[in-house]
Amino acid sequence: MHVDLNAFFATAETLRDPSLVGKPLIVAGIGRRGVVSTASYEARKFGIHSGMPTYQALELCRNVIVRSGDYSYYEMLSRSFFAYVRSFSPFVEEASIDECYVDMTKPMIHLEDPETYLKGFQDGLLKQIGLPCSIGIAPTKFLAKMASDMKKPLGITILRRRDLPSRLYPLPIESFFGIGKKTSPRLRELGINTIGDLHQRVETDDPALKETVGKFYFAIKEWVNGFGDDSIDLLPFDPKSIGHSETFERDTADYEEIRSKIAQLSKEVAMGAKEQGKRGSTVQLVIKDTFFKSHDKSVSFHDPTDKEEDIYERAIALYEKSFLGLEIRLVGVTLQNLIKPTQETVQMSLWNYEEYEEMDRTRLLINELNRKMKTPMLKRASEAKKDDHR
């Protein structure tokens, strides 16, 4: 089973402030280089999506509500989500802050009506914690992930191997999990427009396809035929770094082109860090020169960050100091030495930690009461102090 929370960060904001329900809402960075992390389904109707610059989202919908994000709060809700899932099965693999794979063999193997059972799982999560989710059930992790994406929000999809020709193969190639926005145009140039087209090329061991996707070809061959990994990794999901890189169409030494690419990559890294509820204290810049030789430089700092401005400023400074004027073919930005905000030990006494845990319990109680009253009547006193007009 793959469980995917629907518009998690946006949903979390509506739990805290029910007056936001049904309104276009984004959780996004503020400022010139801000980027959308999550968009509510109402905002998506205007064409707003994750990864979009905040200014562009504001142009698409003037009335969109912007929240800068409270990732400690989101992490608290995430812990409640995973605890709920583990009450059904102990075999849970946390894929990110808002999704997981679950081995449901034991609880479901003898069920006569699995869809009713899954509906109960879904309804319970919504009632107890306030989080809507989509569920995919399939024989492999890849198919379960694809199934959960088929119906959103609040979808339940059971995908069997015999269903692949009718339900999986007609989907556009961009929807294939693992094939990104850079690879899909290259596949379309080969005439591969759907997952069914991909399946046909795999069956003939198309050399052009092999060259395009590289080693990923062997995983694709298994996945598209309904096989592949079905094991659950019980180790906690805990990435130590988040990085993105991109190869230029042509080798370049043009400062503006390289600067723009570093800015884009910094946004992607920041968004990934926020989604994982992580902050990092080291930024690494990687470049590959025209001889395919890799070079890297890094800088560490005292206060961990997940802000795109901080990541960009350090990455561009590394470029200007060490690689300015060098002709390059690839550039990458990585945020390293990741920790969760609750793991920060700077000026954190035992009293402060206990206070933080109590704050979590208080927020949960306030959210539950506000949800029952269907209006945001209650808030913590420290939050009320910030609202001078009240």
Q: Give DSSP secondary structure letters for 238-264.
A: --SEEEEEEEEEEEE--HHHHHHHHHH
Inside any domain, residue 232: no
Inside any domain, residue 127: yes
Average pLDDT over residues 369-379: 72
- Which segment of 65-74, 121-130, 194-203, 338-347 scores lowest on mean pLDDT? 338-347
Q: Provide the residue range defining the domain that includes 301.
A: 241-343
Inside any domain, residue 233: no
Inside any domain, residue 363: yes
More confident residue, 324 or 366: 324
Same domain, 152 and 205: no
- Provide the pLDDT for residue 358: 55
Q: What's the predicted TM-score (pTM) here?
A: 0.69
Same domain, 249 and 303: yes
- Provide the pLDDT for residue 69: 84
Q: For the chain, give the percent of residues with pLDDT over 70.
A: 88
Domain of 33, CATH number, reads 3.40.1170.60
Average pLDDT over residues 221-234: 91
At 353, is the pLDDT very low, low, confident or very high (cuts 50, 70, 90)?
A: very low
Separation CA 76–CA 72 (nearest Å):
6
Q: Yes or no: say if 134 and 156 are a contact pair by the CB < 8 Å rule.
A: yes
Inside any domain, residue 228: no
Separation CA 382–CA 66 (nearest Å):
21
CB atoms within 10 A of CB 211: 11
Same domain, 41 and 120: no
Same domain, 105 and 142: yes
Average pLDDT over residues 345-373: 56
Same domain, 329 and 256: yes
Q: Yes or no: say if 178 and 95 are a contact pair by the CB < 8 Å rule.
A: no
Same domain, 78 and 18: no
Q: Yes or no: say if 6 and 132 are a contact pair by the CB < 8 Å rule.
A: yes
The 3-state DSSP class for residue 124 equals helix
3-state helix, strand, coil split of the chain in percent (to 5) is 45, 20, 35
Q: Is 99 a catalytic residue?
A: yes
Same domain, 308 and 367: no
Place of tokens 């990934």: 272
Backbone angles phi, psi at 123, to 5 degrees: -65, -40
Separation CA 155–CA 264 (nearest Å):
33
Same domain, 109 and 125: yes
Separation CA 267–CA 333 (nearest Å):
10
Burial label, 82 (beta-carbon count in 10 A; 0-12, 13-18, 19+): middle
Among residues 99, 268, 308, 309, the one annotated as catalytic is 99
- Provide the pLDDT for residue 389: 45
Beta-strand pair 294-305/279-289: antiparallel
**End residue of a domain, out of 39, 70, 101:** 70
Inside any domain, residue 235: no
Same domain, 324 and 250: yes
In angstroms, the Cα distances linking 204 to 200, 209, 226 are 7, 10, 17
Burial label, 265 (beta-carbon count in 10 A; 0-12, 13-18, 19+): buried
175-224 pLDDT, tens per residue? 999 887 788 999 999 999 999 999 999 999 999 999 999 889 999 999 99
Domain of 186, CATH number, reads 1.10.150
Q: Is 73 left (phi over 0), alpha (psi -120 to 50) or beta?
A: alpha
Same domain, 245 and 331: yes
264-294 pLDDT, tens per residue? 999 989 988 887 888 999 999 999 988 878 8
- Provide the pLDDT for residue 34: 78
Q: Among candidates 277, 266, 267, which has minimal Cα distance to 239?
A: 277
9-49 pLDDT, tens per residue? 999 999 999 999 999 999 998 776 678 989 999 999 999 99
Q: Among candidates 343, 337, 341, 344, which has minimal Cα distance to 284?
A: 337
The H helix count followed by the E strand count for the chain is: 15, 12
Inside any domain, residue 93: yes
Inside any domain, residue 354: yes
Same domain, 212 and 259: no
Domain of 327, CATH number, reads 3.30.1490.100
Instruction: Check whether 165 has a pLDDT greater than 60.
Output: yes
Same domain, 161 and 174: no
**End residue of a domain, out of 165, 189, 213:** 165
- Provide the pLDDT for residue 351: 40
Rg (CA), the chain: 23
Q: How many domains does the chain have?
A: 5
Q: Yes or no: say if 8 and 14 are a contact pair by the CB < 8 Å rule.
A: no
**End residue of a domain, out of 190, 223, 256:** 223
CB atoms within 10 A of CB 94: 19
- Provide the pLDDT for residue 236: 67
